Amino acid sequence: MLNKASPMTSSPATSYIASVDLMRGLVIVLMALDHVRGFFTEADFSATDLSRTDWALFLTRWITHLCAPTFVFLAGTSAFLSAARGMDRRQLASRLFTRGLWLVILEVTVVRFSWYFNLDYSQMSLQVIWALGWSMVVLSALSYLPLWAIASVGAVMIFGHNLLDGLDGIWLEEFQTAEGRLEWQGWLLSVLHIPHYPVIYPLIPWIGVMAAGYAFGPVMQWPLTARRKTALGCGILLIAAFVILRVYNGYGDPAPWSRQDTILFTLLSFVNTTKYPPSLLYLLMTLGLMFILLSAFEQAYGAQRAIGRFFITFGRVPLFFYLLHLYVIHGLALIIAYGMSGDIYSSSSQFPSWWGFGLPIVYLIWIGVVMLLYPVCTWFSAVKSRHKGRPWTPYI
């Protein structure tokens, strides 16, 4: 018997919800800022290292923390809404499984090459597309469960995975050879929870975020006012939980905050949570902000304004933008480096020590990249609309 809250028994006429694409568009543009910063900044240290950074560089990095949790959460929500538009459970599971594997393939081929511009597979970073892909594969199996069970899986992974923090180092050391190589048990732990090269995005927390997003799907079928208030309530609740847990420096993040020389830097320390893997506090902070923004974007006029339509354009083709913008940013960095030095660099890893620019130039390059790709994304969005329902459209 189908669960009453499953998409297969929900309203079959779920209409297009512009706020989801608007939210996706905003974070994909912010992600471009983070990648431009990574390729063009003059800072040779972590932007969140409070002993070396300044407030502007910190916040430039911090605001982009919103990106990955939003992508993964809304991918789960979009999966539910897709099913609610007439897809049965088997079709949904098949779509999630094949699209997830496709994303993993893209990560280790097209995405990897965009970062390194070489075929040396000793250089590899398994990041957000990898996590999205495998989370979809897992969700393809979870989708056969009742909605309450999927929500429970998501909650346990999000709220419980930091219980492993104290054991991670012990386990990883136990499963390393004398030469420092990981045995298969160590690789499995790395894939699931412990960041270790090349796995930058361990899967357990991200699977939980996607499952939570799927469980949130029915809310997005409610009338506009109801879902706007619910999203706002969820955002306030998550932010409040973040503040309470963070104040006491107890459970939820392996890196406690501390008093700094100034009030501003103390506040920066307070919000400087752990991304790899995403801690409970990191997810409460970022998903709380996502819910608040989503509530604001639910206003009837939001998608009708020019700025709303601008971000929606990117939100309709996020994977296309993601794949393209990495090549544009990396290629632009090599071109500018050649123009400044006359030397040809095969990738950014070969840039000289003098390479890099201050934040004003970084922001100008970011705006230039986004504006350059806007007409391309507008064109591709129109292509997808004309070919809606074709087998290839969900995969790019």
pLDDT in tens, 144-164: 999 999 999 999 999 999 988
> Cβ neighbours of residue 354 under 8 Å, at least 6 residues apart?
none
Query: pLDDT band at residue 5, thresholds of 50, 70 and 90?
Result: very low
32 contacts: CB under 8 Å, gap ≥ 6: 321, 325, 329, 366, 369, 370
Task: Please indicate, yes or no, if residue 368 is contained in any of the structural domains.
Answer: no
Q: Is residue 267 predicted with pLDDT exceeding 60?
A: yes
Coil vs helix vs strand at 196: strand
Q: Is residue 7 helix, strand or coil?
A: helix
CB atoms within 10 A of CB 390: 9
Closest CA to 315 of 367, 369, 381: 381
> By the 8 A CB rule, do 75 and 135 touch?
yes
C-alpha dihedral sign at 217, 219, 223, 226: negative
Residue 188's pLDDT band, with cuts at 50, 70 and 90, is: confident
Q: What is the pLDDT of residue 382?
A: 92
The DSSP bridge partners found for residue 176 are 182
Which has the minimum average pLDDT: 27-41, 135-149, 284-298, 374-388? Answer: 374-388
Ranges 118-132, 170-184, 263-277, 288-302: which has the least confidence: 170-184
Q: In this predicted structure, which of 153-157, 310-314, 343-347 has the lowest mean pLDDT?
A: 343-347
- Residue 23: CB atoms within 10 Å: 27
User: For residue 188, with 0-12 CB atoms within 10 Å meaning exposed, 13-18 middle and 19 or more buried, which class applies?
Assistant: middle
User: Domain of 254?
Assistant: 7-31+68-316
Per-residue confidence (pLDDT) for residue 165, from 0 to 100: 80
- Could you tell me if residue 87 is inside a domain? yes
Q: Decide if 396 is inside a domain.
A: no
Residue 56 lies in a domain: no
Residues 282/246, Cβ–Cβ less than 8 Å? no
Query: Residue range 337-363: average pLDDT?
Result: 91
pLDDT confidence of residue 10: 42
Higher pLDDT, 84 or 73: 73
pLDDT of residue 7: 52
- Domain assignment present for 122: yes
Q: Where does the chain have alpha helices with state H? A: 18-40, 55-62, 67-84, 89-106, 112-116, 128-142, 147-160, 165-174, 184-192, 203-215, 224-247, 263-271, 280-297, 306-316, 318-341, 359-386
Per the rule left: phi > 0, alpha: psi between -120 and 50, beta: everything else, 45 is beta
Domain presence at residue 84: yes
- Position 189 pLDDT exceeds 90: no
Let me know if residue 328 belongs to a domain: no
378 in a domain, yes or no?
no
Please write the tens of the pLDDT for every residue from 223-240: 999 999 999 999 999 999
Average pLDDT, the chain: 90
Q: Report the candidate in 27, 69, 61, 19 with the shortest Cα–Cα distance to residue 286.
A: 69
Question: Taking the chain, what is the end-to-end CA distance rounded to the nearest angstrom?
Answer: 34
Q: Is the pLDDT confidence value at 13 over 70?
A: no
Rounded (10°) angle between helices 318-341 and 359-386: 140
Residues 6+ apart with CB under 8 A from 114: 323, 326, 327, 330
- pLDDT at residue 172, rounded to an integer: 66
Question: What pLDDT is stored for residue 106 in this prediction?
Answer: 97
250 band by pLDDT with thresholds 50, 70 and 90: confident
> Mind listing the pLDDT tens digit for each residue in 20-40?
999 999 999 999 999 999 999
Domain count, the chain: 1
Residue 348 token pair: 């950014």
